Amino acid sequence: MNSPGFTMKAASTSRIWTDDELMALDSKDGHKHEMWHGRIVTMSPAGAGHGDVIMRLAAAVATHVYEHRLGLVYDGQTGFRLSVDFCFCPDLSFVSHDRAKLILPVREKLFHGAPDLAAEVLSPSDSITKTEQKLNRLLAHGTRLAWMVDLKHKSVRIYRKAGKFELLGEGRYLTGNAVLPGFRLAIARLFDDPAFS
């Protein structure tokens, strides 16, 4: 079940982790953590290309969201607790104002629910299967749109329902559908830096 990008820490599957305990993990060892099936997963650092693509995507989404006052955009440190056993930190997420009222009872705590939009950028060590499992679980808990960005193949998988995706290549455009009305970004713009070609 582990991929090279994930390291499973020993933890009892019967243990209940509080929000405060989960949030304290990052400050203790400096790594990003998620929770899968009640077990803590430590995320490996990613390379420069991964970070560049996340920032390109985040800049485009955030500009659109804030210009149109659609909600808030979050980076990969923000936790979304789906249940007692699952807590994920998508590389990029968007939460509409309406949804924020439902899943953010306290500003300095984890979200209790899924974002409207979740995006994951694959690093070389990430498993497509594992990342798809993560996006499918988010979709099952209320995420309305999910993107999986593949640097190696310069493409994006678009998920609107768990288990089904549309593959977009460089000649296509990433859109926000009803989740981010009016958002449009050329796929090629995510990968056009010659330093990472």
| Ranges of each domain in the chain | 46-196
How much is the pLDDT for 107?
A: 66
CATH code linked to domain 46-196: 3.90.1570.10
Task: Please check the confidence at residue 90 and state whether its pLDDT lies above 60.
Answer: yes
pTM for the model stands at 0.83
Q: In which band, very low, low, confident or very high, does the pLDDT at 120 lie, cut at 50, 70 and 90?
A: very high
pLDDT tens-place string over residues 131-160? 999 999 999 999 999 999 999 899 999 999
- In terms of DSSP H, where are the helices of 33-159? 48-67, 97-103, 128-140
Sign of torsion, CA 63 179 75 47? negative
Q: Which residue has the higher pLDDT, 195 or 112?
A: 112
- Angstrom distance (rounded) from CA 60 to CA 161: 24
pLDDT tens-place string over residues 28-54? 666 677 778 878 777 777 778 888 999
